[in-house]
Amino acid sequence: MIAPKRYGAVIVALAAVLLAALLLGVAVGAVWIPPVQVAKLLAWKLGLIRHPDVPRASEIILFQLRLPRVVLAALVGAALAVSGMVFQGLFRNPLADPAIIGVSSGAALGAIIVIVVAGADAMGGLGVPIAAFVGALLTALVVYRLARIGPVVHVATLLLAGVAMAALISSALSLLMSFSGEQIRNIYFWLLGGLSARGWSSITDVTPPILLGVVAAATMRHDMNLVVLGEERAAQLGVELERFKRRSIAVGALLAASAVSVAGVIGFVGLMTPHVLRLIVGADHRRLMPAVLLAGPTLLILADLAARTAIAPEELPVGAVTALLGGPFFLFLLRRQRPDARA
Amino acid sequence: MPGFLAALVLVATGCSGPANRPAERGSGSPAAAPASGAFPVTITDDDGIAVTMKSPPQRIVTFAPSNTEIVFALGLGARLVGVSGRFDDYPPAARKIDEIGGAGDFGVDPNIEKVVALQPDLMLAISGGEQWKDRLRELGIPVFTINATGFDDLVHDIRTVGRLTGATVAAEQLASKMQEQERTIVGDLSSEPRVTCFFEAFYPPLTTVGPDTFIADLLAKAGCDSVSASAKTDYPEWSVEDLVKENPSVYLVSSESGASPAAVAARPGFDAVDAVAHGDVVPVNSDLVSRPGPRVVLGLRALAEALHPDAFP
């Protein structure tokens, strides 16, 4: 654990990096907009200056395409990172992640079933996110039931059940892809993940559930600390274990499903962010959560920036970028950590 | 199967793209003999495989709706004993023929057992699927691959299929008729200025066509300077920012994408594109432009009309 003073510095640094990532994400894209134009447009939007004399295309690109995309990346990054933190805390295992325990693919499966059966606009557009949440929750519950032996859920069986469930869902998805015909590309998009093609409406749709999930996670951070010490000790210290586990699963599923419903399956953000920050600020969730909330958005904003500029004007799927960045980095961390088995 | 979908699957299964295209194609001399062809005939296909037909094939299996259309157009529909699947929907008689597709990891490979059971003496395929092609050859079924890279290449391919099947006269008639129709359309456009256009293959994510695709060749012939002409891949995801910047004057939506002009206009940022703001969003029947078959002249005509409405009163 680090000293409070140093923790403060870490948080300030993380906030500064997030701010820099936000500005960079807005300033840089497939189309070059001179920074002066960007600054003028932002200042105008903030009510500081009168409408500047800039090309209309620049204004549209900035406010209708780039800014919502960066904001959505921040929201999805936060949701995935906090979801990962909740699951890692619950399972007391740094490898727990919405994708690894099958929750993200469960959400994608739910969404894809609705898309294939009823179309993307089912129930006035509510069908897909609701199906994603149902898929995530059902997956988490099935995993929970499978892993539950007697009155308690053992972490090892839970993780095993999660891996088995993820495999089952992925074969169900392959099957759906075989039968889906022209929808195959749509499914492909959900599986690879992407933040393109989303506007402000996606942000207003997804903000309430993410906010709800983050607030709920924040109220649980004390219990999470106690559970980290061991289930038995947590119970002795007054944590209602089963209730805590159910709530963790619901919150983790809600956050993962919210992310999946607007961006598809994006891996490694929920795995890496809490894991890396635990190494820096320690395992106390009261300190960990603010750091995770700042770093998750940063990571996804930068990954998406790479996705949309690396081979511009063509784009890469952001899920491929996070896997590309996250995979080797994660392996490196695992390796570095081996000698002293902390975390 | 729709063109870009096939390409997606080919990419996903790690099969050959245009990079693997043999540089040299068709070994034989141009079909000089208008008679019912000379057999035995040996022709090298677009995979670089030499295929020999001892006599005109009597039981043909096609793997790709475009090949099915070619076989029917050559008057060989009665000899067709198997087609790829439910996308083989033209001419309507094709629907009644046994389907051999739907196998493999993505459900896009032929079912080897079914093919063998049909006892074909020729299978007409498109690029990709080296593994199952090898397997079928081992089982004694000749597989001939055609991969039309553009209109002229398609016409060449049709003549090649004519030689391979003994339908040289029908092939020559069809090929000349298509060339004549193409020349008429291109001629009608000779005095028209070229227009910038964008072809939407799919959304979301915004997906278009690269310069090496068959569709790109039709677009160029129809007088379009495509926004995605610089693309390095065949079916790239495209930046909406770049679309707004390039500001095409005609926006073409494939029927595979299926988006209505109103749906296109409702997307974030799209109203900044002139084509969208002026209502120049035109649906395109993908079957006519993405299937390298006899009907592409209709697709070319539709594209030309969409891009130059004034030239076709």
Q: What is the pLDDT of residues B115-157, one digit of tens each?
A: 999 999 999 999 988 899 999 999 999 999 999 999 999 999 9
Are A57 and B247 a contacting pair at CB < 8 A? Answer: yes
Q: Is B237 close to A316, i.e. CB distance below 8 A?
A: yes
| The B122-125 sheet, strands edge to edge | B80-82, B60-63, B122-125, B143-145
Q: How far is A128 from chain B (nearest CA, A)?
A: 15
Q: How far is it, in rounded angstroms, from Cα A276 to Cα A280?
A: 7
Superfamily holding B4-182: Nitrogenase molybdenum iron protein domain (3.40.50.1980)
By C-alpha distance, the chain A residue nearest B258 is A182
- CA Rg value for chain B: 20
Q: Which two tokens stand for residue A181?
A: 């015909």
Distance, in angstroms, between B63 CA and closest chain A CA?
16
The single-letter DSSP state of residue B308 is -
At residue A201, what are phi and psi to the nearest 5 degrees?
-65, -35
In this structure, the dihedral spanned by the alpha carbons of residues B73, B78, B83 and B87, taken in order and rounded to 10 degrees, is 50
Task: Round to whole Å and give the CA distance between A203 and A300.
Answer: 15
Residue B80 has phi, psi (to 5 degrees) of -80, 120
The residue extents of the domains of chain B are 4-182, 190-311
Q: What is the distance in angstroms between the Cα of A199 and the nearest Cα belonging to chain B?
A: 5
pLDDT of residue B14: 36
Among B11, B200, B235, B239, which would you mutate to test the A interface (most chain A Cβ atoms within 10 Å of its Cβ)? B239
Give the Cα separation of A199 and A261 in Å (integer).
14
With beta carbons less than 8 A apart as the criterion, state whether A75 and A264 touch: no
- Spell out the per-residue pLDDT of chain A, length 343, in tens: 567 778 999 999 999 999 999 999 999 999 999 999 999 999 999 999 999 998 888 999 999 999 999 999 999 999 999 999 998 888 777 777 787 778 988 999 998 888 888 877 777 778 888 999 999 999 988 887 787 676 565 667 767 888 788 888 888 887 887 776 666 766 777 777 788 878 898 899 999 999 999 999 999 999 998 887 777 888 888 888 888 988 999 999 999 999 999 998 898 899 889 988 988 998 899 999 999 999 999 999 999 999 999 998 999 988 889 888 777 866 776 666 554 444 4
* Number of other residues whose CB lies within 10 A of the CB of residue A190: 24
What's the rounded Cα separation, in Å, for the pair A102 and A108? 10
**Structural domains for chain A:** 4-341 (1.10.3470.10)
CA nearest neighbour of B82 among B51, B108, B111, B42: B111
Write out the CATH class of domain B190-311: alpha beta
- B52-79 pLDDT tens trace: 999 999 999 999 999 999 999 999 999 9
Q: CA B53 to CA A91: how far, in whole Å? A: 65
Q: How many CB atoms lie within 10 A of CB A55?
A: 11
Produce one character per residue of B162-183: b if its CB has 16 or more CB atoms within 10 Å, e if not. bbbbbbbbbbbbbbeebeeebe
* Chain CA centroid to CA B20, Å: 17
Residues of B in contact with A66 (CB under 8 A): 241
* Complex prediction ipTM: 0.81
CA–CA distance, A71 with A300 (Å, rounded to integer): 10
On the question of pLDDT at B29 being above 70, the answer is no
Question: Which single residue is written with the structure tokens 């050859």?
Answer: B137
Same fold, B4-182 and B190-311: yes
Q: Which helix (H) or strand (E) holds B284?
A: strand B281-284
Tokens 């962010």 -> residue: A273
| Contact status of A310 with chain B (Cβ, < 8 Å) | no
What pLDDT digit, counting tens, does each position of A14-58 carry? 999 999 999 999 999 999 999 999 999 999 999 999 999 988 889
Nearest to B245 among A31, A181, A196 (CB): A31
Residue reference for tokens 């759906």: A176
How many other C-beta atoms can be found within 10 angstroms of the C-beta atom of residue B30?
9
CA dist A248 and A151 (Å) reads 17
With beta carbons less than 8 A apart as the criterion, state whether B82 and B118 touch: yes
